[in-house]
Structure 1
C-alpha cells in the first residue's frame, strides 16, 4: 500500500509539473493572470408578456383583476405617473408586482359598450438592467366591438417652441369651456420628448382638446401659472382621420406681492447703513443704469439730497433720475452716460435710513468712470422676408436671459453699442403690438403669442461693426 501511495504521489507530481510548464508557456513565461468570467453579453431586451388573464382583446370584459405574466423578473417604474388608462377612471387602480407578475385591480365599475386601454409604456422594467417595455398596450371592451379611431398632434411651448414632455393632452366630450375647470377628461395621452401625442381606440365623437401640466392627477385647469394649451375649435373624430392638431402651451409667470419676500434678520449691532453697487472694477457700463442695493427696506429716502458731479468741473450734473423700487431696497439711477468720464455720486448722511433708523455715519462718495465706446461692438442688421404686418420683434438673449427687444419696423436695424459676446436670436410675433410677449387667455379664447428661435447667433466684438443678413421665419400656423 505504501509503495502504491508513493507511486501515486510521484505520478501526481509529474502531472502538476506538466501543468505548470503549460501555464508558463501560455503566459509567455510570466505569471498567469486570473481573469474572472464576463457574465455574458449585457441584457438589452425589455420584459416580454408571456400571457395575461383575462386575455388581451377580450370582449364583454367584466373583471376587476388583470394579471400579466412576464418572461423575467420585473419591477415598476413610477407606475402612477406613467400608467395611462383611457377612458380615465374616477379612482386610480391598484398595481402590484411580484417576481414575474404584475397585477392590476380596478376600483371603478366599467361603462357599458366601452373600449378600455391600459398603456404601460415606461411602466414595466426588468430587475437586472432596468430595460423598460415600450408601447405595451392592453385593450379590452365591455361590449361586442372595439373603438378604433385615432387622433394625433403636437404641443410646443409658445415662448420657446420647444417640447415639454411633462404635459398631458386631454379630450373632453363636454364642449363647454367650464369642463376643463370642473370635470376630468374622458381620454388622456402623454406628450413625448418631441411634443408628439397619439390617441388610439377612440370612440367617434366631437371633443374639446387641451394640454395641461397636471399636478396631483386631477387633470383640472386650476391656475394660470400651470402650463396650458387649447384648440380654438372642437375636433371631430370619425372614420375619416382628422388632421394632426397643433397646440401652443403657455403659462403666466407667478406674481410675487411687493414686500412678500422674507426680510433677513437685521444685524442690530451694525450702526451704519450698508449698500452695494453694480459697478465692475469701478467702471460704469454705458448701457446700464447705476444700481444701489440695500439688504433691508428703506424707511426714509431723500433723492433730492443725492448729488452727481464730474471730476473735471465738480459742478452738478443734470439729466438723471433716481427711482426706488416697490420693495424699497433698490435705487436705480438712469443716465445718458458720457464715455470715458469720471463721475462722483455724493451721498449725505441723511439721504436714507432703514427700519432701525440707521443712516450713514458720515457723507460718502461713490467714484466711478464710464467705459469708452471702443469697448463695445456695433451692428447693422439686414432682414430678408420681413413682414411688418405680423409685428415682429427681435429678441436678443444670452445664457437664457433676455437682453434686448427691438421692434422691426424696417428691414434695417442699427445697433449703436453692444457688449461683446455671443447672443441668441429669437423673433416674437407681437400680435397686439405692445412690444412684449403675452400669454394666452382661455376665457377670452386668445392664443398665446409665438416666439420662434432663429438659426443663427450674433457675435459682437469690441470696436467692430457686424453687417449680417438674417432670414426671418414666418409665424407658425
Structure 2
C-alpha cells in the first residue's frame, strides 16, 4: 500500500509540474523576466541642519561651543583645509562629529563687537553617498550688530590666463607691504573653478588684497616662487560694495642651476666618451643649431680640431662656429644651413675629454643631411584688432613647451619655414618690449605681463601654406 501511495503521489506531482510550466508559457512575457528589488533613487541631497545651539544670527555671542544637529549621519571632509573662519583666528577651532552631531569648540577668545562667520562649504558630507554641504554658513556677532560689507572679484594666472581654484584670497587691514610676509590676514576666501571669489560680512574699512597659493596654512608670502597676486592699491570697503577686483597671479621662475645636469654614476668599464646629438634620423633641422650633449662635463675641449665639410667630396665648410655652454655639457654648432646638403663632422680622438678623462678611442665622423624647404610649412597669419602699442608677441608651444616667439609689428605675420605639427597659440603683451614674459615684482609694485591663449590651434603641414585670420580680443584690464 505504501509503494502504491507513493506512485500515485508522484503522478500527481508530475501533473502539477506540467500545469505550472503550461501557465508560465502562455501567461505572457512579463512573467518570464526576473527583476531584482530596487534600492530606490540615489540620495543626492546634502545633509541639512535641523538644529543648532546657539542658533545662527545670535547677537552678543560669547559661547565657546557650538553644536549642530543634522538630518542624517555625517562625517567631516578635510575639515582644517576646507573650513573658513572669519575673521581668521590664530588657532582654528576644534571640530568633532558623532553620528548626526558636529561640535565646534573655539580655542581663541573672541573679539568684542565682531561678526564671526563659519563657512562649512565642502566640510560636512553624508556618510552613505558623500554629498557635501554647499554654502553652509553660521553667522554670529559678539556685539549688537552684524557687519554686512562685501567684496568680490576674480583671479587668474597671468602666464596662462586660466583660473586656479587652489588659491586663497586674503584681506589685510595692515596696509604695509611687509604685513603679507609677517602676519596672518583678517579675512580669507576660497576661489571657485572660474577664479571668482566673494567676501561677505566684512567690517567696514580699508584693506590690502592678495592672492596666494598657501601649502602649509601659514597664509604668508614667504618665497618669490610662490604663486602670488596683489591689488595695485588699497581697497576701501563700505555699505556700497566696491567694483569687482581683478587679480593676476604669478610666480618668479627659479634661475637655472649651473650644474643642471646631474652626473651619472661612474662606469669604470666604459672607456669611451659618450654624447648625444639632436639629429632626428640623421636629418638636421634647418631651423635649429646642431648640438652635442655630454652626460659628464668636458674637462678639455678643442673646437679647432673639429672639421666640418660637405658632400662626398668633403669640401671644407668655414662659416660655422662652435660654442661650449657654461655647464660644459653642450657643444653647439651654429651655421646658416643649406637645404638638402650632406654634412660631415670629423672628430679626432683628442677633440675633447670629459671629467673622467675619457675621450674617443678612435676618430669618428658624424654624417647627416639637412632637410629641404618642402619638409616645412609656411604661414601668413592675419590678426584683426591688433594693438601694437601693447607690444604683442605670438607664442607657439607644443605640450606646454615654448617653441618660438614672433613679435607682431603689423597685423600680418609671414613665416617662411616652420616644422609641421599642431601648436598652441598665445599672445604675450610684452609691456617692457624685451621679447619674453616677465613676472610681477611685489617690492617694486610691478604687475606681471599677460599671456592670453587664442581659441584655436595652428596646424602646420609640410609644403602647405597656412593662411588663418585671427580675431583678437582687447587686452585685459587691471
* TM-score, length of structure 1 as denominator length: 0.93
SS at match of 1:389: helix
* In 1, Cα distance between equivalents of 2:155 and 2:206: 20
Whether 1:244 aligns to 2:238 is no
* In 2, Cα distance between equivalents of 1:326 and 1:22: 92
1:20-31 aligned within 5 A: 22-23=23-24, 25=26, 28=29
* In 2, Cα distance between equivalents of 1:195 and 1:255: 29
Aligned to 1:38: 38
Tell me, yes or no, if the aligned pair for 2:261 and 2:295 is still in contact at 8 Å: no
Aligned to 1:366: 366
Distance verdict in 2 for CA 1:27–1:321, change over 3 Å: farther
1:206 Cα deviation (Å)? 0.5
SS at match of 1:156: strand
1:73-472 aligned within 5 A: 73-259=73-259, 262-472=262-472
* In 2, Cα distance between equivalents of 1:142 and 1:347: 82
Q: Give per-residue Cα distances to partners, 1:420-442, cap 9 Å, x unaligned.
A: 12222211111111000000001
Tell me, yes or no, if the aligned pair for 1:382 and 1:469 is still in contact at 8 Å: yes
When structure 1 is superposed on structure 2, of 227-236 and 316-325 the one drifting more is 316-325
Aligned to 2:67: 67
* In 2, Cα distance between equivalents of 1:121 and 1:28: 51
1:304 Cα deviation (Å)? 1.8
1:216 Cα deviation (Å)? 0.4
Tell me, yes or no, if the aligned pair for 1:454 and 1:473 is still in contact at 8 Å: no
Pairs aligned (count): 470
Q: Give per-residue Cα distances to partners, 1:267-288, cap 9 Å, x unaligned.
A: 1111111111111111111111
When structure 1 is superposed on structure 2, of 181-190 and 400-409 the one drifting more is 400-409
Tell me, yes or no, if the aligned pair for 2:212 and 2:221 is still in contact at 8 Å: yes
Distance verdict in 2 for CA 1:151–1:19, change over 3 Å: farther
* In 1, Cα distance between equivalents of 2:167 and 2:356: 49
1:28 Cα deviation (Å)? 5.0
Q: Give per-residue Cα distances to partners, 1:160-213, cap 9 Å, x unaligned.
A: 110000100000001111101101000000011000000000010000000000
* In 2, Cα distance between equivalents of 1:29 and 1:164: 54
Distance verdict in 2 for CA 1:15–1:446, change over 3 Å: same
When structure 1 is superposed on structure 2, of 48-57 and 357-366 the one drifting more is 48-57
1:324 Cα deviation (Å)? 2.1
SS at match of 1:139: strand
Tell me, yes or no, if the aligned pair for 2:84 and 2:120 is still in contact at 8 Å: yes
SS at match of 2:90: coil
1:15 Cα deviation (Å)? 8.4
Tell me, yes or no, if the aligned pair for 2:73 and 2:100 is still in contact at 8 Å: yes
Tell me, yes or no, if the aligned pair for 2:52 and 2:69 is still in contact at 8 Å: yes
* In 1, Cα distance between equivalents of 2:337 and 2:269: 38
Tell me, yes or no, if the aligned pair for 2:382 and 2:412 is still in contact at 8 Å: yes
SS at match of 1:368: strand
Tell me, yes or no, if the aligned pair for 1:349 and 1:359 is still in contact at 8 Å: yes
1:145 Cα deviation (Å)? 0.9
SS at match of 2:343: strand
1:22 Cα deviation (Å)? 4.8
* TM-score, length of structure 2 as denominator length: 0.93
Which blocks of at least 5 consecutive residues in structure 2 are unaligned?
none
* In 1, Cα distance between equivalents of 2:65 and 2:243: 37
Distance verdict in 2 for CA 1:25–1:216, change over 3 Å: farther
* In 2, Cα distance between equivalents of 1:299 and 1:390: 47
* In 2, Cα distance between equivalents of 1:45 and 1:254: 46
Q: CA RMSD in A?
A: 2.2
When structure 1 is superposed on structure 2, of 239-248 and 305-314 the one drifting more is 305-314
1:335 Cα deviation (Å)? 1.9
SS at match of 2:315: coil
SS at match of 1:164: coil
Q: Give per-residue Cα distances to partners, 1:40-66, cap 9 Å, x unaligned.
A: 111111111111111111111112221
Tell me, yes or no, if the aligned pair for 1:394 and 1:406 is still in contact at 8 Å: yes
* In 1, Cα distance between equivalents of 2:239 and 2:427: 39
SS at match of 1:177: coil
Which blocks of at least 5 consecutive residues in structure 1 are unaligned?
none
